[in-house]
């Protein structure tokens, strides 16, 4: 098997290079041999979270004093790339939603008591996190949320619905966005809450049967007079929209990493295939048009990856990255579509057969132009800052 490798960025120190090798070995030994069965079952085993957590990979961005590694954004990029190189987007999504898109809210904004309660178990993979923002009528338009949290003498009562929630069925810790001020307009009046799975007001309405990411569980959740203690409020009341927008920057960075890893895997599989497949008396690789197509998508994939690392470095330096990360989310996700569909085309009929890696990756890739902010929304964010 040919390994398609981009040049290793100089931004990575020896520790992160070691992390890459360790995660790559873990993917090769503990994910790839078993992931077909997870695609069928529609879930990944809890033991996988515990194994990765035990190795320290699920808490790399979180504070050391609560069980994390205290590393920066480049750690998230390395983890996302290597998990995506497995070729199983559902596995990569379930793990990175936990490590980088949900529990991070507690790490960044939680009180000492909240961090002490949730982070050690989350970093160890003993408890799985999910973030609940999207609703049936509010996705990329976060300001349109309708889920309501009403203050009571005992704390809060939560009512509403969330949909398309990754780790929604098997998660334990839910970060829920709800409107706490019904009179406030738009982005004002939204707050975040920590909801435990065992809360009796939480109901799993259904588990979705998805086009792609089939090994990750995705659910619709209802909150029916769900009672929360005062300490379930995460951060300041009314600041939830801004917290979500801030975390979106990291989520979109991880999308760039997932796209890069998937591109690399699709290209290396396809290079191997076209070198072996013969047509008209010679290998497909010997056809100039085939070599040119692969060279072109490899060039675009390299550009998307370079932007991913640039954005990670900018975030690490504390710079405002909304424009650049929006560019990254749009460009990397759309580049991935071109890569996987070119690779599927070059596989011919084989690429259309369920069970072929490139067929699965083409399905899994589709969601990345939608989830975490649709391409159209990302381009508007860029336009606002031009």
What residues does each domain of the chain span?
A: 14-128, 130-238, 241-384
At 129, is the pLDDT very low, low, confident or very high (cuts 50, 70, 90)? very high
* Helical (H) or strand (E) element with 131: strand 129-132
Q: What percent of the chain has pLDDT over 90?
A: 87
- pLDDT, the chain, mean: 94
Instruction: Please tell me the CATH code under which domain 14-128 is placed.
Output: 1.10.540.10
Tokens of 163: 């949909």
Q: At residue 369, does pLDDT exceed 70? A: yes
Mean pLDDT of 100-119: 96
Has 237 been annotated as catalytic?
no
Stretch (H or E) spanning 129: strand 129-132
Question: What confidence category does residue 1 fall into, taking pLDDT thresholds of 50, 70 and 90?
Answer: low
Treating both helix axes as pointing N-terminal to C-terminal, what angle do 357-365 and 322-346 enclose, rounded to 10 degrees?
150
pLDDT, average across residues 103-120: 96
Q: Report the candidate in 329, 332, 324 with the shortest Cα–Cα distance to residue 374.
A: 329
* pLDDT of 184: 82
What mean pLDDT comes out for the span 172-184?
Answer: 92
Model pLDDT for residues 187-230, shown as the tens digit of each residue: 789 999 999 999 999 999 899 999 999 999 999 999 999 999 99
- Neighbouring CB atoms inside 10 A of 254's CB total 28
The pLDDT of residue 345 is 97
Q: How many CB atoms lie within 10 A of CB 107?
A: 19
Higher-scoring residue by pLDDT: 128, 1: 128
Q: Is the pLDDT of residue 26 over 60?
A: yes
Q: Which residue has the tokens 């009341």?
A: 237
Checking if the pLDDT of 355 tops 90, the result is no
pLDDT band at 2 (very low <50, low <70, confident <90, very high): low
- Which residues, 6+ apart, have CB-to-CB distance to 209 below 8 Å? 42
With b meaning 16 or more CB within 10 Å and e meaning fewer, what string describes 351-377?
A: beeeebbbbbbbbbbbbbbebbbbbeb
Predicted confidence at residue 11, as pLDDT, reads: 86
Q: Would you tell me the crossing angle of helices 240-276 and 73-84 to the nearest 10 degrees?
A: 40
Within the chain, residue ranges assigned H as helices are: 14-26, 35-41, 46-54, 73-84, 89-96, 103-109, 112-123, 240-276, 288-316, 322-346, 357-365, 375-384
- Checking if the pLDDT of 50 tops 60, the result is yes
Angstrom distance (rounded) from CA 23 to CA 15:
12
- pLDDT of 130 over the 80 cut: yes
Q: What is the DSSP string of 272-285?
A: HHHHH-EETTEEGG
Please say if the pLDDT value at position 362 is more than 90: yes
Of 39, 81, 251, 334, the catalytic one is 251
Query: Considering the entire predicted model, what is its pTM?
Result: 0.94
How many whole angstroms separate alpha carbon 193 and alpha carbon 233? 5
Instruction: Name which residue leads in pLDDT, 361 or 3.
Output: 361
Q: Please state the rounded mean pLDDT for residues 56-85.
A: 96
**Residue 7: is its pLDDT beyond 90?**
no
Reported as a single tens digit per residue, the pLDDT across 313-339 is 999 999 999 999 999 999 999 999 999
Decide if 199 contacts 175 (C-beta within 8 A). no
Distance CA 170, CA 41 (A): 13
pLDDT at 370 over 90: yes
pLDDT tens digits for range 271-287 = 999 999 988 888 999 99
Q: 241-384 — its CATH code? A: 1.20.140.10
Residue 143, pLDDT > 90, answer no
Longest dimension (CA), the chain: 80
Architecture in CATH for domain 130-238: Beta Barrel (2.40)
pLDDT at 92 over 60: yes
């Amino acid at each position: 098997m040919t390994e398609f490798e981009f040049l290793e960025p100089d931004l990575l120190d020896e520790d992160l290079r070691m992390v890459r090798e360790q995660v790559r070995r873990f993917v090769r030994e503990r994910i790839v041999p078993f992931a077909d069965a997870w695609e069928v079952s529609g879930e990944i085993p809890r033991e996988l979270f515990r194994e990765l957590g035990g190795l320290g990979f699920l808490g790399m961005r979180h504070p050391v004093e609560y069980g994390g590694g205290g590393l920066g954004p480049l750690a998230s990029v390395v983890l996302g790339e290597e998990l995506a190189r497995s070729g199983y987007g559902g596995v990569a999504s379930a793990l990175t939603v936990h490590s980088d898109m949900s529990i991070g809210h507690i790490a960044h904004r939680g009180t000492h008591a909240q961090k002490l309660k949730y982070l050690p178990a989350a970093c160890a993979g003993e408890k799985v996190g999910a973030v609940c923002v999207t609703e049936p009528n509010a996705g990329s338009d976060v300001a349109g949320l309708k889920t309501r949290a009403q203050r009571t003498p005992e704390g809060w009562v939560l009512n509403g619905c969330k949909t398309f929630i990754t780790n929604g069925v098997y998660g334990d810790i839910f970060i829920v966005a709800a409107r706490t001020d019904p009179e406030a307009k738009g982005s004002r009046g939204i707050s975040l809450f920590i909801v435990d799975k065992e809360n009796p007001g939480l109901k799993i309405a259904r588990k979705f049967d998805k086009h792609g990411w089939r090994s990750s569980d995705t659910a619709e959740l209802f909150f029916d007079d769900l009672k929360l203690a005062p300490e379930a409020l995460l951060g300041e009341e009314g600041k939830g929209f801004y917290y979500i927008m801030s975390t979106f920057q990291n989520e979109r960075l991880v999308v760039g990493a997932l796209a890069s890893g998937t591109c690399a895997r699709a290209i290396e599989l396809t290079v191997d295939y076209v070198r072996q497949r013969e047509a008209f008396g010679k290998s497909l690789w010997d056809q100039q048009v085939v070599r040119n197509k692969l060279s072109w998508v490899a060039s675009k994939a390299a550009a998307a990856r370079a932007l991913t690392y640039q954005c990670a470095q900018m975030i690490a330096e504390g710079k405002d990255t909304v424009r650049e990360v929006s560019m990254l989310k749009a460009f990397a996700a759309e580049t991935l579509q071109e890569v996987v569909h070119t690779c599927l085309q070059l596989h011919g009929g084989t690429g259309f057969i369920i069970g072929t890696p490139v067929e699965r990756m083409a399905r899994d890739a589709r969601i990345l132009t939608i989830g975490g902010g649709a391409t159209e929304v990302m381009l508007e964010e860029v336009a606002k800052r031009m």
